[in-house]
Structure formats: structure tokens, C-alpha cells
Structure 1
């Protein structure tokens, strides 16, 4: 990537590779001008232009009109077109600011494909994966040694202990083509992480080992990333002003050129068609280069159709809870003891304080009402208001603390002493208060318990499928731990708050979101890439999908936040299982041409397809909407009045040690019938391919319902099982 103005790729090198894009975005600096991303057909580059940058610069220069200057909010700017980035790997084209007249003139330029305005993205902000130093994926991959993970985020805090180089190989891998610089030109104030998001995601994916890490006494452990011997190249694309498509394109463009193996991006663009989604466009080029891109599903759940990054050629990751409980033990005056949820960061003492339950103020939605209670009291807050809001009101009332009744653990900051207890436990507490003359309570803080059940649960905030950008591929793909993940943080930003204004810094913080689940999956992808360097991104994704666990730690199906069984729209194939993904019997592979065939089947124009593929070298004459994907989704119209059959064709590749025989087992979605032909697949050799068809028959009586099932290919000797989820859903 070449840059113009002052956003320069001046990277910083630590034990790992950390790259930054300097300078905040200047998008929408004038009401008269808008930043556009322009796609060009590179075959039109004239011989007189020595480089693509020269060609694009000459195009922009030719659009320059009268030089004028103006002022906006005290800042001067020029009204001539301004080139921002040029792209040559993820896409062919550039980003620049234009007026409407200049944009119309640009469209007349030879080689013009398309242009659309810059977009803003939304950031999706114990070992529960059973990784073992003696067996499985860790030793098989040598902990991901020298795999390079490109992280597109808010930067990194290079001084963090998680980024020290002890145990790393001495030399940067020769495949790394980037330039990392340290010294006078490195402007720490512009390019380092200031909000902690990039530091948290990077260290989750590939942070080194750090002993005795905790969040103010909670979750004390040895911190490490999923792939602790991988290297990290961090591209700053998130700024205080926002996350812009032009920056994301520039980051992926540079990451491809630099030679990364896996790209981690925990942000996304809502409501963007594939041909205008910078992640979809740039990840196509990454996929062609063999680079795996792992993305977050978004934090707009639990409604259906809310996810972003539902892109056929990337991995889309949902978020779930862990079996670790951050706890506060509630001890009533009668001796009854309950374990509540809390991560109040202070070393508080709540001992034999008065416990108050007053229905006139138990909603805890007014600090004015709560102030009527003695400040040395602990109040009980009913399940009538979000816990986050109740905590704020109790804090503002300056009470000694509270007990919150809720099944939710979605809390930003625990600013007052208190604990969350479940509604089923609340009855005992309220009964004690109402039957006692002088009810009291004590609370112990800074406790951590393992083995919480049921776990994992689908996180309530995790965005659900089907994918708005392309609903005929089942998304999300998998679920990974995303709730209250402990990882490295920036000491310049508060990790905790006590009261209304006491800010607490920490080098490690607890964060929740699909931003936190995506790095777990990215780390697993890095480990698989190290263990199987010849696998394509589709093969790695297939291994993760077909081995994901649909069962929780109670050996029952994973449940949603409301304790109903979770559908694949919430969890994909299930919780990622790294060790099973290592030894994969069958994989569903896909080539770039397969994705082009899919694009050709859509109602896209030639230029819209070209914006994604960048080249007409691909064959557009073989449209097929039936991608060789390791999951199935049948969409129906709620107005249907007769039965319908939808058929899928799949090809599986034997990546086991040799000859193998598999038989299929099918669990049909409720109200449907599933037929698989043939029911047995016989492989004589490794890498041999076999084809099968799957048909789903469903009738009008399922209208309005989402139902789901699965097929499992079981090897005759029991060594491998290959599972694919099935969903039948209304289009809406």
C-alpha cells in the first residue's frame, strides 16, 4: 500500500511484528467533499504510468479544478481532489475525496469500475479450549511458531508483558516482507493503542506467557494467547474519529503484501453489500493468496439477521460464555450462603450490614429514591431494570452496596460493592428479609470459581444470522469464548471504576464481545496453519466447523442466554474444539473459482463482481449458488402452500492417513425430512475426493419457524466424526 498525506506505514518492531498506520482519518472534512473508495481495472493502466500509484495520482490530478481554500471548525482545507490511499493487493484502486462533479468526471476515466463513499465500521468489543502442552494442537503446531497474525485494530501497547519475546525464535520469518521501523519517525502519540481494544485482541490471539495475572484479584492465572509462539503484525485502522473503510482496505492491502498468514479483524460494516464491504472485498484477495481471515459477528444480538461479516470466504465468529465464574459470596444473617456474580475491583468489606428490600424503590432506577435508604445499607434490586443502569443509580446514591437480581452478567463496570444473584436464589433472600426483624448480609469479593454449568451459553449480545449480505450461507460459523475475557490492556485507559470518579488503571482487563471471541478463533487458525501449512483457508475453516462442539459441559446441547437450546444462527456449528480440528478426517475445500461461481449466480453487475475479484481472469460463465460449504441452510417464503425440496451437492476430501469408510447419520430439523445419497463414502487413498447430495423436504406447516438439525459422517473405526449443521428458516 502507498499512502499520501500524513497516514504513513511507519511500523514498530518488538519481539513480534507490530505495524501502525499513522495519522487519524480526515474523512468528511468538508461538507463539499466526500471520501470515496474507487475500484479500477488495472489492465487499463497506460504504459506511460510506471506504477499503479502514478496512474491513480494522474487521474486525481486531472480532476483538479481551481485551487481554493476554506475553513471548517477552525481547520483549513483544500477543495481540490485529495488522494488518500492507493491499493494494489486487496483491491485495485484508491481512495480520495471528491466533489460530485469531480466524481462524475472520474466515472469517464478509462478503467473505472465503481466508486462508493467511505463507510464507518462498528467495533465488536481459565482455558476453556482444552489446549494441552503435551498432546493435541499445541505441540503439533509448536504453539504456532512463526505464523504471522495480522491484526487490524486500534494499535498495540508494545511495552505489555504479553508482547515480550522470551521463548521466541531469534529471527523474523523470511516470508515477512513488511518494514518495521523504530526511532525518530515513530510517533507514539499517534500510533499506539489508546483504548485497549487492539492490545486486548492481539494478546488473546498470540500473547506470550505472563505469570500471576488477574483483574484486581479476579481470574488470577498465567495469561497467554491461543497461539503464544505466533508473531503479530498490528495495523492501526481504528481511531478516535472512528473506523473507516478506506483505512481497513489499506490495512488488509498492506497485510497481504507483508506476508501474514492469518488476518484478525474484530470490527465490521453493517448493511453493506458484498461489493461495497471493504472486508468482503479485501478478504477475497487474501483468500486467493492463501491468507485466512477471521472476523467477529457483531454485538447486536439477540435478534435474527443482525450479524455483519457474513461473508462466504471468511470465518465469522460468535461469542459465548465460559465455565469460569467471577464471584462474590453472599452470606445472609441466618447463615444461608449464595454464590453471586461480581467483579467489583475494590478490596471492599461488606460485613453484617443492614439488608433492605423495599418494593417502592426496588427497581433501583432512581438515585433520588435510593438516597432515602441509610447509606450503610445493602439494597436488593429487582429484575426490572438493566443491571448496568441499576449499578449506576446505586453508585450515585452512595449506598454501601446492593444485591442485583438477574440472570444477566452483561456489566460494563462494577462501580459499587455488590453481587448479582439469580432469580431462583432471590426468593430465599427476599423471604429472609421479610421474615427477619433485623436482616443483615455480608459479601466476599475477589473470588473465582471454575466449572460453572451450563457452559458455554450463547452470549445475549452476540449477533445472529442469517447473514444480511448473503443469507444462503449459514452464518455465524462457530462460537468461541467472548465473555469477560482476561487479556492485556493499556495502562492509560481505565480498566475499572469505583464510585463516580475513581478510575483504576490495569495492565490486564476483562472485556466482553465478539471482538474477544474472534481472536480465539484466529489463534486456532494460526495453530492449524502451522500444523497443516498446505491447507487452504477453506480447509482450515472446514476443520474448525466440522469439529466444533454443539454440546455444553452438561453433555446437553448448548443453550442460548435464555436457556433455550441455541440455534446455529447463534452459535454456528458450536464451540471451537482446537484439538479435534487438528486431526480432521474429511474437509470441505473451495477454490477461488468456486466463490466466483457463487458471485456469478447473484444479481450483481459485471462491475460489482469485478470490484470483488479485481480481475476478469476468472470464469463468470458457470454460476452456482451451491458452494461447497460445511453447513446447510434452506430458506423458505412464509407464503408457501405446498411442500418443497431443496437439494445440495457437496464434495469432501479425505485428509486422514489412508483408506477410510464413512457412514452418515442425520438428524432432521423439526417438520422436515433429510435424505443423503449415498449413505456411505469409501476412500481408498489420502486426498481422494467423494461427492454426495443432501435433500431437505419441508412443508407449509413449518411456516414462521426456525428449525435445525445436523448430519454427521462417522468413520467406520470411530476415529473421526465430521458434523455439519442444518437450518430451515423463513427468508425474513
Structure 2
């Protein structure tokens, strides 16, 4: 994988074939070639054995060879919750010039969220095409569409950019969907559905299919999106865990985008239940987005035969109209499974003849799928992992806490003819919000422990947005409901919120670098309540995104390609590994010029320290004035009983815009236990702007410590 040559002597695809010919020694070499990358990258994807891959890697002019991976999708009150109301200030002329590239499952072009009434022609800078395939038409809202199908799975080649799953339509409309009044999911969550930048344009790149998202397709989509002229790229997908940047297709694509002035935003991951160091999006040149709640919570209730009413959690659109049904425990309505499997309502365990017309009690949430398949009237589930998270269900069902679930089991056991009614879900106000979702992946960064990830958090719980009528609203294959709008949770939902806000910032500052926009999002983020959020900054990074403040951050921290190259040199990446990311002949400078990760000009300050030893950590930063030309900022450090923080100088005075000032932060403290973290924050303020930077010291080792 390399960059395009400045002068082309032969067609790039011909050069790829000749290289492949030397490796595979076959007369039908074209059969081995899957895809050429020739718009912003210089490379190709091919079917090779390990030995052939090694031979190719040794050839002159080959920068890198790496295997393809399969990545996975990470799945309207939210805008008002953030104070970003319909009447908030929008630069509509500039907004209509902004193009958001969405790498996802495609898009449903007929959705009201993507109609083009009132839109003019695409921006003149647009160089893309509408290759949406059969029965797919673009318009002046969806100005471009492409689909990719390099996977060997025949099921992935559907020949269209049309979204058959719903995920891509949901993320695209969250970022830039039109204002659609009275949108709801069967009456739930009713209101105006809208994206952050409703006047912006969308370019859809379908890289995901039901089997997953092939990394060679993702790279092809980045190649196209960059050349097409998008301004922001949102990627709501990722791997199960963090990998080195030279093996991370999203990191590689985002690096090339950054070099061309395009900011990439990526889901942090949905592996929060795995614990710390589960965040998969860790490259510093893109924004890693965690998911948190809004103040709108969906709850449900069950009424037992004795009149007892219990509260639970689900997004349940069904109404039993006052009818009570017999209540049975899963282990009593199964013929083919062990007692343990039947209690859990495992797949194919429930007997349809025994559950018909009954509500089934299941010891796990996914038991609702089996209850629906078997034809049960409803299901009561144990909410074993996800606490207060309400999930979509495909039949009348709700999840109960351990105590309430045990209460129902006792009722069933002690009652001759137990019965229950499950009500339709309702909405209540959640005064504790925002709280980072339990599924949202946590830091610290496993690849570079001195760079805090995730970067920030955004709404990602029970988000109402556009959907595909061909997708199951509950991810239950037996759920045949067709919907135009759906309520979904995941870091897949938080990522397009942040991407839309990045686009919003871009409409006011078209000349800002990707790192300047990233800095604006991070330093203006609202501080989170650590007492309500397990794992603190490892859960929410710099805090909760703030759309209005992000437009006017006052100061920004900027970093560029050469800074990231020096960073990778400092962590020990070999030149070949760095070139696999940069695509050119970048080399490491003298060691004295390397940038230690903690000194990358990043909007947060993080350092790994050995456990049980007192420490002194120094951070060096440079800020650029983008607020008022004549301004004076004073430093204020939040109190911390375990950290002593000194800032030099404590005052930064600016005489002009774009003026730069540097400062140093020294953090000292006593030894920390292993697997420990302490934090503080530095705030620069001029009376009009508040520039907040988290300071995190921890003892979690990474891959190179």
C-alpha cells in the first residue's frame, strides 16, 4: 500500500498485474486480483498464499502487505438534550456545501430523511458518482453512492448501495438527515427526527453486509471518499479489539484522509462488558466516540395476576389490551433441551405447542428471540448484564432486575395459575443522564497508553433515526415488522452524532485542519460526573460533546502528518510499518526529534507510569488562538488529592488570531497501585472561552510497555 506517484508512466492497474504475475506464476493472474486502489492510494487486494504474500512483500517498491480482516457494525431527543435545538444558529449556505461520507451498510434513498426538496445541485467540489446499482437513484441530498463486495461470500454481492439492514440509514440520518416531523417507532419517541446538519449532503459507501465489513472494501471506500471530495467521514464499525495501526484498515484510511484535510470519526466499540482496555478505535488522528444516555428513558411494566406491578426495561411497541396470559418458566415448556438450556430459553429449546398463548420466563435477555420463534404471547427476561438499558423486542417483553425477576419466579412457583400482562413501553425523564452506557468500550489505549481513548462521548442510547424497511427492527430474523424509523443503541449511534457536530463546526471554519476540529470537540466537551460513570475518563474521555460551544473553542491544539510520523517512530514502529500507514517513503528523524506520545500536541494529557513508584510527568503543549485577537487566558487546575499539577506559564496572552503559545505541565504524585488511574483537569479561560483538558495518570500497560 503506497501513495500515488507524482507522475504516472503506466496505468496503475497494469503495474499491479505485472507485480502479481511475478508472484503467482499463473497465466490467469487477473483471477487473483480482487481490487485496485488507484484514486488516493496506490495498492491492490489479491488472493495470495502466505508464501506468495511474503514474496510480494520482498519486492522492490512494495511498501507493505497485510491480511484482510472482517470488521463489524457497532450499533431525536438527543439534539435537544445537548442544547442543540432546531432554532440553533446554522450557516445554511456553508452547510449545503458540506459533504459527509458514511461508510456503513448503505442507505435507503426513499426515506423522508434523505429527500432533496429545496436542495440545489451538489457542491462544485464534488467529484464522486452515483453507482448505487439496481433500482437506486441519488438526488441532491444523497449526492453519491457506491457499493463494495470483495468478500468471497456470495451473499455479500447484492449489487446495490441500498441498505437492507437499517444500520447505515440510521447513522446517515443521525449525522445529516432532514427534519422529519412526527417520526416515531409505533408511537414511541415521537417528535422531529433530524440530523446535526440537515442541509448537508451525504455520500454513502456500502462496505458492510450481513456477514460483516471486509477491510479491503473499507480501504476502497476510503480511497473513493477522499478522491470524491467529502469533508467528514463517519465510520460506525470496528474490530473486536485494538490492533497496531499498520494492521488497522480504518486507521490507515483515516491517516490518508487526515493528510487531505478530512477528519474521520469512529465508534469506540461496544465491548464495554469486557472491561478496561476494550476500546478498538485508538489512532490519535481520528476521533474515537463513546456512547452515553440522554434524559429520555424507555421503560416497561408487567402486571402480575395478583395485581403487583413491576417496572422493567424494553422498547416494546406491543399492547396486550388488558389481557392477562398464563405465565410459565422456560424449563417447564421444553422437551428437547437440558434444564439449564431451557431456563435460558436457548435456541430451539422452547416447544411451540407448550408456549402458545403463554408468557415465558427466560433467564437471559436473548431468550426473547426464542420465545418469539416458538410463538409465545410474550416474555419476561432477566436483565443480567445491561442494567438500565432498554433494548428493542420482537414480541411483548421486558427485562427485569435480579430482584424483580426473582419476585416473578417466586410468584410463579407459589401460585396455582400464575398470569401476567405486559404493557406497552412508555417514556420517562432520566435525571441522571448523561451516563456512559455499560456496553461502550473503555480505555485506556492498549496500543499507545499515553494517548487517552475514547476521546469523548455522545448520545448513543435509544436513538430514533431513519431505518430500512427491509431490516429487522429488533435484529430478530423472525421479526417481520417494517419501519421507517427505529430506536437503536450503540457506539454506532454516538459516532454520527459527533460526525454531524464536526460537520457543523466545519460550516463555520472551513479552513480548519482535522486536528483543530477534533480539538474543538474535545476541549469544549462538558465535564462528566465521575460518581455516576464507572471508569471515569477511560469511559468518556474529555467529556460529553457540546455542539454550540464547539464552534467557538477559543484555543485549539493542532497536530499534523509529520507529528504523527514522529509519534510512531517514538513508540518503536519500524520504517516499513510506518510506510504501511503513510503510503509514502516517510522516515524517522534523529531520535532527539521524535515526539514521545505524551508530548503529541493532543487535547488531552495522559501518561502511563510504573506502579508503586512516585512519579513526575512533564507534558508540553502548544495552543493556537482562534477566539478573540486580543485575549489573555489563565490556567486553573481542578483539585486532586493524589496529584500535584504545575503549569508554566500560568498566563497566556495573545495579540492576534492564529498566534501560537506553548506551555508545560508537570504532574507529580505518590506511587499508584497496579491497574489504577487518577485524574485532574486543566482549564484555560479568558472569561469568554473555557478550554478544558483532562489529565490522566495510570498504571495500565500497553503492547510495548
Identify the TM-score tier after normalising by the shorter chain: 0.7 to 0.9
Cα distance change on mapping 1:431 and 1:66 into 2, 3 Å = closer
Q: Check conservation: 2:673, 2:699, Cα contact below 8 A.
A: no
Correspondence for 2:13: 53
CA gap 1:425/1:548 in 2 versus in 1, 3 angstroms: farther
Bigger shift: residues 674-683 or 539-548: 674-683
- Does residue 174 of structure 2 align to residue 199 of structure 1? no
**Which residue number in structure 1 is paired with residue 463 of structure 2?**
485
Question: Which structure 2 residue ranges, 5 or more long, are not aligned?
Answer: 137-146, 148-156, 333-338
Residue range with higher mean Cα deviation, 318-327 or 666-675? 666-675
Structure 1 residues 438 and 195: alpha-carbon distance in aligned structure 2, compared to 1, 3 A threshold: closer
Query: Aligned partners of 1:653 and 1:405: how far apart in 2?
Result: 48
Residue 702 of structure 1 deviates from its aligned partner by 3.7
Q: Does the Cα contact within 8 Å between 2:102 and 2:202 map onto a contact in 1?
A: yes
Partner of 2:512: 535
Provide the aligned length of Structure 1 versus Structure 2: 662
Cα pair 2:635 2:683 within 8 Å, conserved: yes
Alignment correspondent of 2:564:
595
The alpha carbon displacement at 1:373 in A equals: 10
2:605 paired residue number: 632
**RMSD of aligned residue pairs (Cα, Å):** 3.5
- Within 5 Å, give how 1:421-432 maps onto structure 2: 421-422=400-401
- TM-superposed deviation, 1:667: 2.7
Instruction: Provide closer, same or farther for how the CA distance between residues 644 and 431 of structure 1 changes in structure 2, counting only shifts above 3 A.
Output: same
Verify: 1:146 aligned to 2:97, yes or no: yes
Quickly say closer, same or farther: Cα 1:288–1:89, change in 2 above 3 A.
farther
Give the Å deviation of 1:442.
Answer: 5.0
Q: Tell me the secondary structure at the aligned position of residue 570 of structure 1.
A: helix
2:180 aligned with 1:210? yes
Contact 2:134 2:159 in 1 (8 A): no
Cα distance in 1 for partners of 2:441, 2:595 equals: 28
Contact preservation (8 Å) 1:143, 1:227: no
- Residue 322 of structure 1 deviates from its aligned partner by 1.9
Q: For structure 1, which segment, 312-321 or 703-712, has the greater mean C-alpha deviation from structure 2 after superposition?
A: 703-712
| CA contact 1:288–1:592 (8 Å) conserved in 2 | yes
TM-score (norm 1): 0.81
Relative distance call for 1:713 and 1:366 in structure 2 (3 A) is same
Distance 1:615 1:684 in 2: 39
The yes-or-no answer on 1:65 pairing with 2:25 is yes
Counterpart pick for 1:697 among 638, 649, 668? 668
Q: Find 2:314's aligned residue among 342, 347, 352.
A: 342
Superposition pairs for residues 340-419 of structure 1, below 5 Å?
A: 340-351=312-323, 364-366=343-345, 385-389=363-367, 392=370, 396=374, 398=376, 401-402=379-380, 408-410=387-389, 413-419=392-398
> Aligned to 1:608, what secondary structure does the other structure show?
helix
Normalising to structure 2: TM-score of the pair?
Answer: 0.84
- Mapped partners of 2:87, 2:94: distance in 1: 11
Please tell me whether the aligned partners of residues 586 and 652 of structure 1 are also in contact (alpha carbons under 8 angstroms). yes
Q: Secondary structure at the match of 2:424?
A: strand
2:427 corresponds in structure 1 to 448
> Partner residue of 1:508?
485
Query: Secondary structure at 1:344's aligned position in 2?
Result: coil
**Matches of 1:245 and 1:534, distance apart in 2:** 31
Given that 2:315 and 2:390 are in contact with CA atoms closer than 8 Å, whether structure 1 keeps it comes out as no
Q: Check the 8 A contact 1:41/1:113 in 2, yes or no.
A: no
Which shifted more, 686-695 or 389-398?
A: 389-398
The CA deviation at 1:695 is 1.5
Cα offset for 1:160?
A: 1.5
Aligned residues of 2:575 and 2:588 also touching (Cα < 8 A): no
Task: Say whether residues 1:131 and 2:84 are aligned partners.
Answer: yes
Which sections of structure 1, spanning at least 5 residues, go unmatched?
1-37, 68-77
CA distance in 2, matches of 1:616, 1:354: 71
Match of 2:142 in 1: none
> What's the counterpart of residue 207 of structure 2?
237
For residue 296 of structure 1, report the CA deviation from its aligned partner: 0.7
| 2:634 and 2:652 in contact (8 A); partners too | yes
Deviates more, 1:186-195 or 1:597-606: 186-195
Distance in 1 (CA, whole Å) between partners of 2:34 and 2:113 is 34
1-side partners of 2:34 and 2:354: how far apart? 59
Q: Does residue 545 of structure 2 align to residue 576 of structure 1?
A: yes
